[in-house]
Chains A and B, each alone.
Chain A
Amino acid sequence: MDARALQKNLLELIRRTSAELPTDVVRAVEAGARKEKAGSNARYALEVIRDNIVMAKDKSQPLCQDTGTIICYAELPKWCDERTFRSAYEKAVVEATRVGYLRQNSVDSVTGANSGDNLGPGNPSFHFHQATGRALTVRMMLKGGGCENVSSQYSLPDTKLGAGRDLEGVRRVVLDSVLQAQGKGCGPGILGVCIGGDRGMGYVAAKETLFRELDDTNEDPRLAKLEKRIMKEGNSLGIGPMGFGGATTLLGVKFTHRNRVPASFFVSIAYMCWAFRRNGFVLSEGGRITRWLYDS
């Protein structure tokens, strides 16, 4: 395996992810703009967002200056071990930071010092899996700080919200999370929600669901129904882009579930901002990118 070639491909993945929004997100932003009244604050915000998307891609510059937490998922085949991959990815991150695809975004939580190259304990955040075939699959996401700050986790039952341990209870807390977020997470937002699991697993799974295409349908008909309903009701709250008021509060809702212990019932909600940066590719053993996972 050619580690240098892998690193080069990973650098291009980081560049694309930071500068180009996948087309499913762009379509959702455009659909939102069409729904808002001409001359409204909401329409205006979505038009600025749309212009920004076009400009970032043209200039190959970060879409948003907060390039977020770097989250990387890799399915590794036998020919690439974890150490080799980690080292190539980290080198690509350092280079991407040097050339400005990424902002210096990794801060020591004890001393407050910025590492300057986006490396440090837990940065980037890796999730490794064993691939079934010969191909290497990489997915990455840049998760901004503003939207991470409005992500939330509920423990059911929640008496104040009248939320019991069932799907109706889940609906109540998820809608509450949208209300609490208002425009502070740079909405319109996309929700990744995990029902169940422990606290740690819940958030990880909630973020993972964000890799789904915005316009797909959940395989589980019960969750598909819930996604539709939250989307409709969330938008009816009227919070709108940036919290300016309007019809476009959410661009998507994705649910997943994990088993839980009888004593716990968590609902974990990962709120993603409009700058919904995710991409990935499939790499052959020869080191060639055979497919990008999202059009951009």
Chain B
Amino acid sequence: MLLEAPFTEEKIRALRVGDMVEITGVVYTGRDAVHKYLHDGGKPPVNLKDSIIYHCGPVVVKEAGKWVVKAAGPTTSIREEPYQGPLMEQYGIRAVIGKGGMGAKTLQYCQKVGGVYLHAVGGAAQVLAERVVAVKGVHLAEKFGSPEAIWEFQVERFPAVVTMDSHGGSLHAQVLEESAAKFKQLLG
């Protein structure tokens, strides 16, 4: 299903675990340095109200004076677990794209503020780079270096799966529980 900007609470609350979405709109990249910076009280250089944060350290090069995205796969999200929930609440971040899922704290905040976790396909650097149709800007690049900067990506039909929703559902918790039960059975 399509998930188009603006990313309102109503649209996000309508999403359920297992929904396959295609995102169209602006997403902001942010990984370790950005999360730590915001958590320590740094001022966000962009308005994060109803925004989507993408855990990604992209490869972006300038060709003929224009930014071109060469690779844009997700990075492991769990490293941001201590910061993510509080930042979602403080700045009104609606959704997080990443890989590997996040923990109980983020799930709680998703329920509280109306947020979701969107799992992109890990390693799919080329497919995902192609869905970035324009680079609208870059922030904090001098401070953190290119992969850790906030890139403002205009994406079109960017594919992801809802694996944590605003109703307490987590596909990660569910798959872990089911596979652990099966494992127990195999071990007899």
What is the interface of chain A, defined by CB distance below 8 A to chain B? 41, 44-45, 48-49, 51-52, 55-56, 59, 61-66, 100, 103, 144, 146, 161-162, 172, 175-176, 179, 182-184, 186, 233, 236-240, 242-245, 273-275
* Contact between A239 and B127, CB atoms less than 8 A apart: no
* Contact between B187 and A55, CB atoms less than 8 A apart: no
* Contact between A52 and B123, CB atoms less than 8 A apart: yes
Q: Could you list some 8 contacts between A and B, CB below 8 A? A: A56-B125, A63-B126, A64-B125, A144-B123, A146-B99, A175-B187, A183-B172, A239-B175
* Contact between A240 and B175, CB atoms less than 8 A apart: yes
Q: How far does the alpha carbon of A52 sit from the alpha carbon of B186 in the complex, in Å?
A: 34
| Chain B residues closer than 8 Å to A179, beta-carbon distance | 179-180, 183
B20 on the A face (CB < 8 A): yes
| Chain A residues closer than 8 Å to B123, beta-carbon distance | 49, 52, 63-64, 66, 144, 186, 273-275
Tell me the total A-B contact number using a CB cutoff of 8 A: 126
- Which of B71, B130, B159 gathers most chain A CB within 10 Å? B71
Given A65-B59, A236-B186, A242 contacting B122 (CB threshold 8 A): yes
Q: Distance in Å from the Cβ of A253 to the closest Cβ of chain B? A: 15
Closest to A59 in B: B126
A179-B180, A237-B186 are known; give 20 further A-B pairs, CB within 8 A: A41-B18, A41-B171, A49-B123, A49-B124, A51-B124, A55-B127, A56-B125, A63-B125, A65-B125, A66-B73, A172-B187, A175-B186, A182-B179, A183-B172, A239-B179, A240-B175, A242-B119, A242-B121, A242-B122, A275-B123
What is the interface of chain B, defined by CB distance below 8 A to chain A? 18, 20, 57-59, 61, 70-73, 76, 99-101, 119, 121-127, 130, 159, 161, 163, 171-172, 174-176, 178-180, 182-183, 186-187
Q: How far does the alpha carbon of A239 sit from the alpha carbon of B180 in the complex, in Å?
A: 10
* Contact between A62 and B71, CB atoms less than 8 A apart: yes
Closest 6 CB pairs between A and B? A65-B71, A186-B122, A64-B123, A55-B126, A52-B124, A65-B125
Q: How far does the alpha carbon of A41 sit from the alpha carbon of B59 in the complex, in Å?
A: 27
Q: How far does the alpha carbon of A55 sit from the alpha carbon of B71 in the complex, in Å?
A: 12
Q: How far does the alpha carbon of A239 sit from the alpha carbon of B125 in the complex, in Å?
A: 22
Closest to A239 in B: B179
| Chain A residues closer than 8 Å to B76, beta-carbon distance | 146, 184
